[in-house]
Amino acid sequence: MDALKFWAVFSIGVAAGAAVALIYAPQSGAKTRKQLKRKLEDATDYLKDATENIGDYADKAAKRGRDVWEDVADSASKAASRGVKTVSDLI
Q: Tens digits of per-residue pLDDT, 58-91? A: 889 999 999 999 989 888 888 888 887 787 777 7
All structural domains of the chain with their residue ranges? 3-90
| Alpha carbons 5 and 33: distance in angstroms, whole number | 29
In this prediction, residues 4-9 reach a mean pLDDT of 85
Nearest Cα neighbor of 33 from 45, 19, 46, 43 is 19
Structure-model confidence comparison of residues 3 and 67, the more confident one: 67
Residue 42: what pLDDT?
92
Model confidence over 7-55: pLDDT tens digits? 888 999 998 988 888 778 777 778 878 888 999 899 999 988 888 888 8
Residue 1: what pLDDT?
58
| Alpha carbons 37 and 43: distance in angstroms, whole number | 10
Assess contact for 32 and 25: CB atoms under 8 A: yes
| Alpha carbons 62 and 49: distance in angstroms, whole number | 20
Assess contact for 54 and 41: CB atoms under 8 A: no
